[in-house]
Amino acid sequence: MNKNKRDFMKKAVVGGAAAVTLGASAPYVQAKTAPIKWRLQTYAGAALGAHVIKPAVDAFNLAANGEMEIELYYADQLVPTPELFRALQNGTIDAVQSDDDSMGAPVDISVFGGYFPFATRYSLDVPVLFEQYGLKEIWQEAYDEVGVKWLSAGAWDPCHFATKEPINSLADLKGKRIFTFPTAGRFLNRFGVIPVTLPWEDIEVALQTGELDGVAWSGITEDYTVGWADATNYFLTNNISGAWIGSFFANNDSWNELPEHLQQLWRLCMDSSHYYRQHWYWGGEATLRTEGTKMELTTIPDAEWDTVEAEAHKYWDEIAETSPRTKKVVEIFKKYNDVMSKAGRPYRSS
| pLDDT tens figures, 327-340 | 999 999 999 999 99
Q: How far is CA 240 from CA 27, 150, 185, in A?
A: 65, 26, 11
Sign of the torsion angle spanned by Cα atoms 286, 287, 288, 290 = positive
What pTM does this model have?
A: 0.88
Structure confidence at residue 26 (pLDDT): 45
C-alpha triplet 124, 125, 129: angle, nearest 5°: 125
pLDDT over 60 (residue 14) = no
Q: In sequence order, which residues have a C-beta less than 8 Å from that of residue 200 and are 6 or more positions away?
A: 43, 44, 45, 75, 76, 81
Q: Is residue 81 within 8 Å of residue 98, measured between CB atoms? A: yes
pLDDT-derived band at 349 (thresholds 50, 70, 90) equals: confident
pLDDT over 80 (residue 74) = yes
pLDDT over 60 (residue 23) = no
Q: Is residue 128 within 8 Å of residue 135, measured between CB atoms? A: no
Identity of the amino acid at 321:
E
Where would I find the H helices in the chain? Answer: 3-25, 46-52, 54-63, 84-89, 125-132, 135-145, 182-188, 203-209, 220-226, 252-256, 260-291, 302-320, 324-343
Question: Comparing 322 with 21, which gets the higher pLDDT?
Answer: 322
pLDDT over 60 (residue 259) = yes
Across residues 61-82, what is the average pLDDT?
A: 97
Using one digit for the tens of pLDDT, what is the confidence trace for 133-178?
A: 999 999 999 999 999 999 999 999 999 999 999 999 999 999 999 9
Structure confidence at residue 5 (pLDDT): 39
pLDDT over 90 (residue 183) = yes
Q: How far apart, in whole angstroms, are the C-alpha atoms of residue 235 and residue 258? A: 45
Q: Report the percent of the chain where pLDDT is more than 70.
A: 91
pLDDT-derived band at 32 (thresholds 50, 70, 90) equals: low
Domains of the chain: 36-157+244-290 (3.40.190.170), 159-242+292-343 (3.40.190.170)
pLDDT-derived band at 350 (thresholds 50, 70, 90) equals: low
Structure confidence at residue 201 (pLDDT): 87
Using one digit for the tens of pLDDT, what is the confidence trace for 224-240?
A: 999 999 999 999 999 99
Question: Comparing 14 with 197, which gets the higher pLDDT?
Answer: 197
Q: Phi and psi (nearest 5°) for 98?
A: -170, 170
Q: How far apart, in whole angstroms, are the C-alpha atoms of residue 106 and residue 86? A: 9
pLDDT over 60 (residue 108) = yes
State the distance between the two ends of the chain, measured CA to CA, in whole angstroms. 101
Q: Is residue 277 within 8 Å of residue 174, measured between CB atoms? A: no
Across residues 4-32, what is the average pLDDT?
A: 43
CA proximity to 56, closest of 262, 271, 279, 269: 269
Across residues 63-76, what is the average pLDDT?
A: 97
For residue 44, how many C-alpha atoms fall within 13 Å in the half-sphere facing its CB? 21
Structure confidence at residue 4 (pLDDT): 46
Structure confidence at residue 319 (pLDDT): 97
**25-54 burial by CB neighbour count: b if 16+ within 10 A, else e?**
eeeeeeeeeeebebbbbbbbbeebbebbbb
Considering the chain, what is the average pLDDT of its residues? 92
